[in-house]
Chain A
């Protein structure tokens, strides 16, 4: 997995030796895995209701493997651990994976350090879809999915599709055209969102809470659907990591490497958008993770997409799981606030340490 990473990473990172550089991804992966386990344990163990760790363990053992640890608990405790906390922690991890992987993909594809999962109108599309779902008086749910999830998902994909089609008209270079079209379409959708919010009356708070994002209504059914889409999309993106590396070198270089640039770009855009849409449909709009986690990983291990993508997935999952835990324990404050407060200083620290040579 790490083959070639040292060669690509070392010039830009002033590393001591190739050997150390080769070990870095492994160390980061181990740290990420430990962080994930800790986040899972804390996330399931802590909450506004105190449940002893032994009871929590007994409930999990009972539900997961049918093991009886000789303890008794109330149905309320079982519901809290199994139907509230566990799906919530896992949803935050799945969304973290989705946002970090799609963020890394968009940054590579667009060769723009400011790109994030929302850059091509996904966020505005999803938000407008969610706002429309709130404003129209239909309260249908299907398999645990409300209209708000469905329209956010559709809105995100429709926005990216529109941006992609419009960007192919005209004579600008494809990347510039994509970014500017994304900005224009996003602005138009934002106007629609503002109008929907103005008309929403008492439902305004619902739209607002979608815009802030969060995992407070996570449930198994939604988790299942989001996890399937995020996992499938992320694996398919990872299988195209070589293409992504080629595109990172520039269009001409990619062509020389035998990459069918137009086709591959469209496929990667579609996959990253699908992953983003699945994430925002269940969580609302959570900023910062998709922008910063890929940068942090690249600053540490270099730009090779084969290494960056899985490590970004780990990092995104761990960051969002911890951020959501903090948000929950601080009285359900918006999780996006926590990701920024935790992540921004760390990111600045890393940027200061590696002043020279960091480029996408």
Chain B
């Protein structure tokens, strides 16, 4: 953001630099980071997509780790805990962490006290996903590559949106979890915006902070399509149809209950285009949603080599 990207990354004297992270903290980087710790799954994916996967020395535990090469990186954090000693012991020169309490704020403060620069990212909306990828790019000396990546992602988003914009907008209920209470997209949330871009009309909770929706409200809003973001945890269309009270919904009567890959739809990283495409295909199965082929070839220049660390410079 502060450094100006140049066409030839090797010639950029981009460091020292000071960036402002998503929490407004000024983070000073004296030299290009070479020992990076990623404390969010999306940052891990972004670092690999930018071709610096080989510089990642530690990552957060990730049950859906991507790309596969990232699986070999040692875990230095898991849900709710961060091993500060390990991060310091690795000689880490940059930590990318998640905001909105994704990583414990006291651990972030502790790392900063110990002199480890921490960039905190939190994307409440889609534009921030792009600016976060660019911020990571600036932080690791790959600003131009990051700009290329977001440009191609934005093109993919525009394509999908153009294909769905004239279509009817069915009422979509996206199930995050319904094992106890029912959780779905909050008003103006990231997920609600994704559903709108994919050509659906999201059923939301009626609040920007609450992700829980009462069953009575859900029945009243009558979803036409139910998308199972919790399919990976064993929820199926049959289970949904058998729940007491659910069979009055249009989606259940029409058997419009579909599993989706929640990771690519909700993870604010470089695969978000694939997520939007999957979402659009689930909401509009008969429409001609642009296939992955053209976008993949345009994105290959940036995303391609990063997927295999052996090809990285």
Q: Which residues of A does B touch, CB under 8 Å?
A: 47-49, 74, 76-77, 79-80, 83-85, 139, 141, 144, 146, 148, 201-203, 205-206, 209, 216-217, 219, 332
- Chain A residue with the shortest CB-CB distance to B79: A205
Do A84 and B84 have beta carbons less than 8 Å apart? yes
* A175 → B minimal CB distance (Å): 38
Contacts of A76 in B (CB 8 A): 88-91
B125 to chain A, nearest CB (A): 16
Contact residues in B for A205 (Cβ distance below 8 Å) = 80, 101, 104
Known: A141-B109, A332-B83. A80 touches B104 (CB 8 A): no
Interface digits, B179-191 against A, CB 8 Å rule (1 contact, 0 not)?
0000000000000
B113 touches A202 (CB 8 A): no
How far apart sit A49 and B107, CA to CA, in the bound complex (Å)?
17
Q: What is the CB-to-nearest-CB distance from A140 to chain B, in angstroms, rounded to a whole number?
A: 11
Chain A residues with Cβ below 8 Å from B102 are: 202
CA distance A146 to B110 in the complex (A): 11
Does A80 lie within 8 Å of B85, measured CB to CB?
yes
Q: Contact between A84 and B113 (Cβ–Cβ < 8 Å)?
A: no
Tell me the complex Cα distance, A14–B23, Å.
64
Q: Does B86 sit at the interface, judged by CB under 8 A? A: yes
Q: Give B97 Cβ to nearest chain A Cβ, in Å.
A: 14
Closest 9 pairs (CB-CB, A-B): A49-B89, A202-B101, A217-B106, A203-B101, A48-B86, A202-B100, A332-B81, A47-B85, A205-B80
Q: What is the CA–CA distance of A146 and B100 in the complex, to the nearest angstrom?
A: 17
Docked-complex contact A48 and B83, CB < 8 angstroms: yes
CA distance A209 to B101 in the complex (A): 12
B297 to chain A, nearest CB (A): 38
Q: Return the chain B residue nearest A141 by Cβ.
A: B109
* B contact residues around A201 at 8 Å (CB): 209
Number of interface residues of B (CB under 8 A): 24
Q: Which of B89, B91, B101, B107 contacts A48 (CB 8 A)?
A: B89
Q: List 9 A-B contacts (CB under 8 A).
A: A80-B85, A83-B113, A84-B88, A144-B113, A202-B101, A202-B102, A206-B105, A216-B81, A332-B81
Please determine whether B86 and A49 come into contact, CB atoms closer than 8 angstroms: yes
**Bound-state Cα–Cα, A209 to B85, Å:** 19
C-alpha gap A82/B81 in the complex (Å): 21
Q: CA A84 – CA B83 in complex, angstroms?
A: 11
CB distance from A339 to the nearest CB of B (A): 19
Q: Are B110 and A219 in contact (CB under 8 A)?
A: yes
Cα-based distance from A74 to B89 in the complex (angstroms): 9
From 63 to 105 in chain B, residues with beta carbon under 8 angstroms from any chain A beta carbon are 80-81, 83-86, 88-91, 100-102, 104-105
> Are B84 and A216 closer than 8 Å at their CB atoms?
yes
B242 within 8 A of A: no
Which residues of chain A have C-beta atoms less than 8 A from B83's C-beta? 48, 332
- A209–B109 contact, CB under 8 A? no
Contacts of A79 in B (CB 8 A): 88, 114-115
Partner among B85, B106, B114 whose Cβ is within 8 Å of the Cβ of A206: B106
CB <8 Å contact, B100 and A84: no
The answer to whether B105 touches A139 (Cβ under 8 A) is: yes
- The smallest C-beta distance from B226 to any residue of chain A, in angstroms, reads 25
Q: Is the CB of B101 within 8 A of A80?
A: no
**Complex: chain B residue closest to A333, CB-CB:** B81
Q: Output the least CB separation between A335 and chain B (Å).
A: 13
Cα–Cα, bound, A37→B101 (Å):
37
Q: Beyond A48-B83, A332-B83, is A80–B89 a contact (Cβ under 8 Å)?
A: yes
CB distance from B14 to the nearest CB of A (A): 24
Residues in A neighbouring B105, C-beta threshold 8 A: 139, 206
Known: A79-B114, A146-B109. A209 touches B86 (CB 8 A): no
B88–A80 touching, CB < 8 Å? yes
Whether A209 contacts B113 by the Cβ 8 Å rule is no
**A152: min CB distance to chain B, Å:** 12
A interface footprint on B258-280 (CB within 8 Å = 1, 0 otherwise): 00000000000000000000000
Bound-state CA distance A49–B258 (Å) is 46
Contact assessment for B88 and A209 in the assembled complex, using a CB-CB cutoff below 8 Å: no
Contacting pair A49 B85 (CB below 8 A): yes
Cα A79 to Cα B113 with chains together (Å): 11
> Closest residue of chain A to B25, judged by CB?
A139
Contacts of A144 in B (CB 8 A): 113
Query: Chain B residues near A141 (CB, 8 Å)?
Result: 109
Closest chain B residue to A148, Cβ basis: B106
* Complex: chain B residue closest to A77, CB-CB: B89
**Chain B residues near A217 (CB, 8 Å)?**
106-107, 109-110
Q: Return B59 CB to nearest CB of chain A, in Å.
A: 15
B114–A83 contact, CB under 8 A?
yes
**Using Cβ atoms and an 8 Å threshold, which residues of chain A touch B86?**
48-49
- Residue of B23, B80, B90 most packed against chain A (CB within 10 A): B80
Instruction: Give 19 A-B pairs besides A146-B109, A202-B101 with Cβ atoms closer than 8 angstroms.
Output: A48-B83, A48-B86, A49-B86, A49-B89, A76-B90, A79-B115, A80-B85, A80-B88, A139-B105, A144-B113, A202-B100, A203-B101, A206-B104, A209-B104, A217-B106, A217-B110, A219-B110, A219-B113, A332-B81
